[in-house]
Structure 1
Amino acid sequence: MKTNIIAYLLLAFLTGNIITSCSEEELSDVSIFDESLQSEPNELDKWIEKNYLYAYNIDFKYRMEDIESSLSNNLVPIDYQLAVQMARIIKHVWFEAYDEVGGINFTRQYAPKVIHLIGSRQWNPNGTVTLGYAEGGLKVTLVGGNWLEPDNIPFMNEMYFQTMHHEFSHILHQTKNYPVEYNQLSEGHYSPSGWNNRTNIAQYAPYGFVTAYGSSQPTEDIAEVTACYLTWSQEQWDALEAGTKTDVDGNPVSGGWEIIQQKITIMKNYMKESFGVDMDQLRDAINRRCEEIQHMDLNELPE
């Protein structure tokens, strides 16, 4: 009995101390769940505001947001300094190239309203890698920013520039349809679920495709033709032409290169007639600007 009384007194004493201790703390009147709170803008934020938001009405997101990303993949944000370089590169090589050839009003009207950068690569269950994607004609996500190599233009073309022009062409196609006769040039050879198994150039080039992914469906086909036309070297086109000459068994075939030329002609006419963009001039501007970034300090954010 005495033991129980002592225990109760001790419990009461400890409880009183806890209550007293808590009551002496000053509680902040600012909720930790206040979504209006924002961090102080850094130099990149200020530069983006001037060069993307004010110039093109584009929201440039380099802080990876779950709601903007694929929730089925393990992804990481882009490194801050690489985000600085990517922001400079995208503006110089992509948007300003279209400004130069199509006019800034063209870029302002058709450019995606959101650019979202992801640092890691996005691997898919079928073993392929997603380099970027466009959503609803409003947002373009670029993946793998932490592998940026500005001095390696062939690598930049493959990993980033080709993706930029591919996704931008999707936005343009959603605005104005490309000619339906394009879809008939390689009809019967598209493979929406098996294109990734076409690892040999002889499995797609003889049928008029510039890449295996282009053989997945017509909309991806014309986007690939557009992107490759703007970024490929002459050596790559020569290799593609050679790849159209034989099938997987080594037998001579014909017609694939002619189909590719027809597709390029349709694409170029579509861009000129629908948007006033000369694709030859645009390709020259892009090539020149790729060379120019080799001599730019991409870590600086000029006024």
Structure 2
Amino acid sequence: MKYIKLFLLITFTLCLGACSEDDLDSKSIFDTEEPKMNEFDNWLMKNYVTPYNISFNYRYDDKESNMEFNLIPADYDKSIALAKMMKYVWIDVYKEVAGDEFVKMYCPRVMQLFGSPAYYPNTGSIVMGTAEGGIKVTLNNVNVIDIEHPYIDIDSPFPDKSGSTTDLNYWFFQTMHHEFTHILQQKKNYDTDFNLISAGNYRATDWINLKDPDAPKSGFVSGYASKEANEDFAEILSVYITRTEAAWQKLLAAGVVGEDESGKQAILDKLEIIREYLKGSWQIDIDELRKVVTRRSAEVATLDLTTLN
């Protein structure tokens, strides 16, 4: 028993000695330092953060991603190009049409970029962007951008999805206006009469099988618009303001089958509710908005998308 007590006493003494000599490191094992600001970060601070309180996240952050998709980081140079284009065809558009205070009040607080498209494996459909809670907008497939030869098609009623061209109007400009429409919807709801116009034609899960050129026959501007009423609303608004009048008339013509103009009329009836919603809720003239969007979209090809100035 004495030997056991002696052994325990020696062990306890050694432990005390070891602990007393082992000082704690004041430096955390976790990186708590803010990343150093590069030239692009400084540009974003000047053009997004300071004037509009928008956090423009181009660095990959898995906490900001949807784990359902296999996404990759956005390319640095292409993120710069997109940041400059989005400022020109979205922020500056609403600033010109609705005023600087409107942008400050209603713009999303977070914009998150990812380099690859987000595919649903079960359907093969692509998520081009999302709007969450009126706060955050995510844009995917940034790495598809051709900085040297930006292609913006505002003259075709239906985008080319074959992959032979990369239409920035379809992938990003229309998508951003679509997602921003959702944010406005969440702030102020629209007339629920809108939901009744195509109530019997929405195709919740089967929308992916409705090709865009065939959609107007059923009263929709795109296949995706046939998913449900909120998407229908955002699609009509975003398609209308990102296309020329000639393109819009071609789209409406696709809604006429022989003497049956019900598809065309459904689109026009829904557009009228959207027109009244923008004017009554936000004091925005949709035709003035389209005029500015299409003008600026056509001017993107003349922008310097690489220089941060």
Q: Is the TM value for this pair above 0.5? A: yes
Indicate the residue corresponding to 1:191 in structure 2: 203
SS of 1:179's partner is coil
Indicate the residue corresponding to 1:218 in structure 2: 229
Indicate the residue corresponding to 1:236 in structure 2: 247
The partner residue of 1:140 within 132, 137, 143 is: 137
| Inter-CA distance 114–200: structure 2 relative to 1 (3 Å threshold) | closer
Indicate the residue corresponding to 2:185 in structure 1: 173
SS of 1:153's partner is coil
Structure 1 gap segments, 5+ residues each: 1-26
Counterparts of 1:202-217 in structure 2 under 5 Å? 202=214, 204-217=215-228
SS of 2:112's partner is strand
| Aligned residue type for 1:222 | F
RMSD between aligned alpha carbons?
1.8
In 2, the alpha carbon distance for the partners of 1:261 and 1:168 equals 22
The partner residue of 1:271 within 274, 278, 298 is: 278
In 2, the alpha carbon distance for the partners of 1:59 and 1:266 equals 33
In 2, the alpha carbon distance for the partners of 1:69 and 1:174 equals 22
The partner residue of 1:294 within 298, 301, 309 is: 301
TM-score by length of structure 2 reads: 0.83
In 2, the alpha carbon distance for the partners of 1:87 and 1:153 equals 16
Offset of 1:29 from its aligned partner?
A: 4.5
Percent pairwise identity: 40
**Deviation string, structure 1 residues 115-168 (Cα, Å, up to 9, x no partner):** 001111111121111100001110000001011146201211111111000000
Offset of 1:207 from its aligned partner?
A: 2.4
**Deviation string, structure 1 residues 82-123 (Cα, Å, up to 9, x no partner):** 111111111111001000000011111111010001111111
Q: Is the CA contact 1:182–1:263 (under 8 Å) kept in the aligned structure 2?
A: yes
In 2, the alpha carbon distance for the partners of 1:192 and 1:167 equals 19
| Aligned residue type for 2:144 | W
| Aligned residue type for 1:227 | S
Structure 2 gap segments, 5+ residues each: 1-23, 154-166
SS of 1:141's partner is strand
In 2, the alpha carbon distance for the partners of 1:57 and 1:280 equals 28
Indicate the residue corresponding to 2:33 in structure 1: 37
Are 1:64 and 2:63 matched, yes or no? no
In 2, the alpha carbon distance for the partners of 1:262 and 1:200 equals 19
SS of 1:190's partner is coil
Are 1:164 and 2:176 matched, yes or no? yes
Offset of 1:301 from its aligned partner?
A: 1.2
Divergent runs of 4+, >4 A: none
| Inter-CA distance 121–158: structure 2 relative to 1 (3 Å threshold) | same
In 2, the alpha carbon distance for the partners of 1:240 and 1:283 equals 16
TM-score by length of structure 1 reads: 0.85
Indicate the residue corresponding to 1:14 in structure 2: none
SS of 1:84's partner is helix
Offset of 1:28 from its aligned partner?
A: 6.9
**Deviation string, structure 1 residues 172-201 (Cα, Å, up to 9, x no partner):** 001001001111111111111111111263
Are 1:245 and 2:256 matched, yes or no? yes
Q: Is the CA contact 2:73–2:116 (under 8 Å) kept in the aligned structure 1?
A: yes
**Deviation string, structure 1 residues 249-298 (Cα, Å, up to 9, x no partner):** xx753211111111111111111110111111111111221233222211
Are 1:153 and 2:157 matched, yes or no? no
In 2, the alpha carbon distance for the partners of 1:45 and 1:201 equals 42
| Inter-CA distance 164–200: structure 2 relative to 1 (3 Å threshold) | closer
Q: Is the CA contact 1:149–1:156 (under 8 Å) kept in the aligned structure 2?
A: no
Q: Is the CA contact 2:89–2:296 (under 8 Å) kept in the aligned structure 1?
A: yes
| Aligned residue type for 2:200 | G
SS of 1:267's partner is helix
Would you say how many aligned residue pairs link Structure 1 and Structure 2?
A: 271
Q: Is the CA contact 1:117–1:143 (under 8 Å) kept in the aligned structure 2?
A: yes
| Aligned residue type for 2:234 | A
Indicate the residue corresponding to 1:4 in structure 2: none
